[in-house]
Structure 1
């Protein structure tokens, strides 16, 4: 018999939703059958699965150990790293941390989340870091797994918001979804930009080419309306380059890269969207530079209200700017 005591990271979840996450290899039909037969109970009573979990609730699962491990996915090492690595050597920097969230600065070249099982990602760094610092345990991963809340392209560097708790995940994901969190990027584009501007258009993704197209009108029902705001910071006249800060109003894959390219100012190094190699760069020089939290936040997160966090520019920027 396995007993699970509900803590804050499972609070207010539906029982059936929790069980589907805890037993990923079990079908929904099987889970409901086990509930009907009282092979799974809530507070020692028969449950429907629709109950909202409360702090201290007891879930008991009356399976043989090998059956439980099969449905949890433990026999395939679901709760162990798929590949050995030293997380401290990934070049990730912790910018800010509290009991609910972590702000990490990702280097260019590191995936935010796995694309293949053997990949090492920022999410793997997060888990290893939290285990190493004692914020979580391997056992706690069975019921809740901390995760990144937003993604950056592999070769885009900078700030990524990560949730340590369910409360943190719910708050950060809501801010991102409702666009209440200001996200600013730094980049260098080809050509001269003199004035601040708000770019508007529609983005359509070509899945086969992993590339997007920007148009003034939607191409089809999959076209997404986008807005990208930029402010010029410095013009490098000797190389005809402009350093700009971009505020991401909407957040779609490749949005900044494609939007700037569509007005004839591709990001340096961004060969996919018309940029050229400069200083040996063969990837987009784009950095998630700062984030600013809104003043209106849930009470338990008011300590973040109006706060701003910055990830310093990487060495590649300094080299292009002649400061490295």
Structure 2
């Protein structure tokens, strides 16, 4: 498990954050964040003030990444791209998460490597990652300026006959229900969002269409919600287009693969980040996934 409890001994009394900076090599900002998140314990009690002076034995909850052998898709001097499989988290959900993509990245490229953007756990495909603090800043700035072009492949329900430009504002629902709170919806009070959808191939025997999606904004669940909004929900989506009962079963991990196929058409979300195109450091990059998404789609529709 990446998060482990390390015991350490401090000979001379000093401020907690200074010990983490000097002895463990983190920045002051990182040290203060660790302390605020309860990752330093003294006599078994969580310490939450970075200015507190400590000495003697302390415990530090540290992140030690592990590898499961996921190979980098492409590597350059300042960044790498992984082709993430469906089901793999980008970051740990909590300290009990056994493995996520950040494990693989930091295991292979060190503490300063970081993931520059996110895709959903169930979405597969390309994830751009920086190899150091400088490239992290540059890449995140590129995303903020919307200089990144992304294309996704999705298998959707129904026939999509023509290109669609979906411009529908997205709002994260606020509700007492934990189920509803995690769901994004189209709402006039939401943030501006735009997705272009292009049909690639219709499969009449399954009444499904393979489409290419180009999001111009990067809202949470944007492609999923936009396609659901135009009545072409993504095959295998366990949230959008499902009853609350089935959503609860999915979230509680009580939905069997066969039930999921029966409810949504596939055992996984059939959405794949297929292309990244951007300019960085005076160079043009156009990176394509090598995954056979078409095969994945039809393999996921049966047990």
Distance 2:272 2:239 in 1: 17
Tell me, yes or no, if the aligned pair for 2:265 and 2:301 is still in contact at 8 Å: no
Q: Which residue of 2 aligns with 1:98?
A: 76
Unaligned runs of 5+ in 1: 11-16, 32-62, 131-135
Distance 1:156 1:182 in 2: 17
Q: Which residue of 1 aligns with 2:268?
A: 283
1:292 partnered with 2:302: no
C-alpha change, 1:107 and 1:127, in structure 2 (3 Å) is same
Match of 1:214 among 176, 186, 194: 186
Residues 162-212 of structure 1: CA deviation (Å, up to 9, x unaligned): 111112101110111111100110011111112112100111112532111
Match of 1:25 among 35, 46, 71: 35
Tell me, yes or no, if the aligned pair for 2:83 and 2:289 is still in contact at 8 Å: no
Match of 2:62 among 78, 86, 101: 78
Q: Which residue of 2 aligns with 1:46?
A: none
| Greater gyration radius | 1
Distance 2:35 2:225 in 1: 40
Tell me, yes or no, if the aligned pair for 1:271 and 1:282 is still in contact at 8 Å: no
Q: CA deviation at 1:80?
A: 2.6
Distance 2:120 2:127 in 1: 11
Q: CA deviation at 1:77?
A: 3.9
- In structure 2, the residue corresponding to 1:224 is in which secondary structure? coil
1:256 partnered with 2:232: no
- In structure 1, the residue corresponding to 2:234 is in which secondary structure? coil
Residues 90-123 of structure 1: CA deviation (Å, up to 9, x unaligned): xx34111122111001111111111111211111
Residues 201-227 of structure 1: CA deviation (Å, up to 9, x unaligned): 111112532111113x22xxxx21110
TM-score calculated relative to the size of structure 1: 0.67
Unaligned runs of 5+ in 2: 1-11, 13-17, 37-47, 243-259
Q: CA deviation at 1:28?
A: 8.4
1:155-166 matched pairs, under 5 angstroms = 155-166=122-133
Distance 1:310 1:234 in 2: 19
C-alpha change, 1:196 and 1:280, in structure 2 (3 Å) is closer
Q: CA deviation at 1:232?
A: 0.7
Distance 1:4 1:319 in 2: 49
1:87 partnered with 2:107: no
1:128 partnered with 2:128: no
C-alpha change, 1:29 and 1:273, in structure 2 (3 Å) is closer
Q: Which residue of 1 aligns with 2:237?
A: 270
- In structure 1, the residue corresponding to 2:142 is in which secondary structure? helix
Runs of 4+ aligned residues of structure 1 deviating over 6 Å after TM superposition are: 1-5, 26-29
Distance 1:190 1:25 in 2: 48
- In structure 1, the residue corresponding to 2:291 is in which secondary structure? coil
Tell me, yes or no, if the aligned pair for 2:266 and 2:300 is still in contact at 8 Å: no
Q: CA deviation at 1:318?
A: 5.0
- In structure 2, the residue corresponding to 1:199 is in which secondary structure? strand
Q: CA deviation at 1:321?
A: 9.5
TM-score calculated relative to the size of structure 2: 0.71
